[in-house]
């Protein structure tokens, strides 16, 4: 019996060592331990607009609704990033002119929708106080066939994480935040699919 326990302990220590060495990130708690908003995300869409410099450029935009069903009023300050399988990462609003924002809001055609700046502020409790949001990304490399949108600011859960710097080999500490991960698979040539809905392929929570 003792031999079996010793073997199990050695195996467990080996597993823990493997996690530390490979820098595996923690997973979110299955049951939320901190505050968390309810988020309902719409389809991803593509649009082309002429920018102030006269160039025709592509943009992705996404609509969502967020509701505070916690037991207290909380600050709503979401941050969205779009990543491709090619390694491109684009933050929402970056390189998006105001003229493009206005045109996208017209395309959305929802009088309750707010852009990523207007939506910031205290989110009161209850379905009746929910907010509608729109985020816009300057389109990255159009050869990508899979996009993932990462959205933080909808959960208060965090986790400390230590990994090794790839260049120096030194340990570095990070604070990971519970993040909503939304994956979309693009149907063929996106440039010719203006304003077509790109259905959500996978939605899950991750620590990032």
Residue 196 to residues 2, 51, 66, 186, 187, Cα–Cα distance (Å): 63, 21, 23, 11, 10
User: What local confidence, expressed as pLDDT, does residue 109 receive?
Assistant: 92
- DSSP H helical segments within the chain, as ranges? 2-22, 98-108
180: closest CA among 46, 15, 11, 62? Answer: 62
For residue 125, count CB atoms less than 10 angstroms from its CB and return exposed for 0-12, middle for 13-18, buried for 19 or more.
middle
The per-residue pLDDT for 3 is 45
Per-residue pLDDT of the chain (208 residues; tens, 9 = 90+): 544 444 444 343 333 333 343 456 789 988 888 999 999 999 899 999 988 888 889 999 999 999 999 999 999 999 999 998 888 999 999 999 999 999 999 999 999 999 999 999 999 999 999 999 999 999 987 777 889 999 999 999 999 998 877 778 888 889 999 999 999 988 777 777 788 888 889 999 999 9
Say if CB 186 and CB 139 are below 8 A apart. Answer: no
Per-residue confidence (pLDDT) for residue 23, from 0 to 100 = 54
Q: Which residues contact 200 (CB under 8 A, 6 or more apart)?
A: 41, 43, 44, 182, 183, 184
Domains of the chain, first to last: 26-207 (2.60.40)
Among candidate residues 40, 35, 23, the one with its CA nearest the CA of residue 180: 40
pTM here is: 0.82
Of the CA atoms within 13 Å of residue 192, those in its CB half-sphere come to 3
């Amino acid at each position: 019996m003792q031999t079996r326990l010793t073997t199990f302990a050695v195996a467990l220590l080996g597993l823990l060592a493997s996690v530390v060495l490979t820098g595996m990130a923690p997973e979110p708690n299955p049951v939320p331990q901190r505050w968390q908003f309810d988020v309902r995300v719409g389809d991803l869409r593509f649009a082309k607009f002429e920018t102030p410099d006269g160039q025709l450029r592509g943009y992705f935009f996404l609509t969502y609704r967020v509701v505070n069903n916690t037991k207290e009023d909380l600050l709503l300050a979401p941050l969205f990033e779009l990543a491709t399988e090619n390694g491109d990462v684009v933050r929402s609003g970056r390189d998006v002119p105001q003229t493009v924002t206005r045109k996208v809001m017209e395309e959305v055609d929802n009088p309750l929708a707010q852009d990523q700046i207007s939506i910031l502020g205290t989110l009161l409790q209850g379905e009746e106080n929910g907010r509608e949001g729109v985020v816009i990304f300057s389109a990255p490399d159009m050869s990508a066939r899979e996009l993932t949108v990462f959205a933080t600011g909808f959960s208060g859960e965090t986790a400390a994480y230590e990994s090794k710097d790839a260049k120096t080999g030194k340990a570095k500490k990070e604070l990971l935040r519970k993040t909503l991960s939304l994956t979309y698979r693009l149907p063929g040539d996106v440039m010719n699919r203006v304003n077509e809905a790109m259905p959500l392929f996978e939605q899950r929570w991750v620590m990032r």
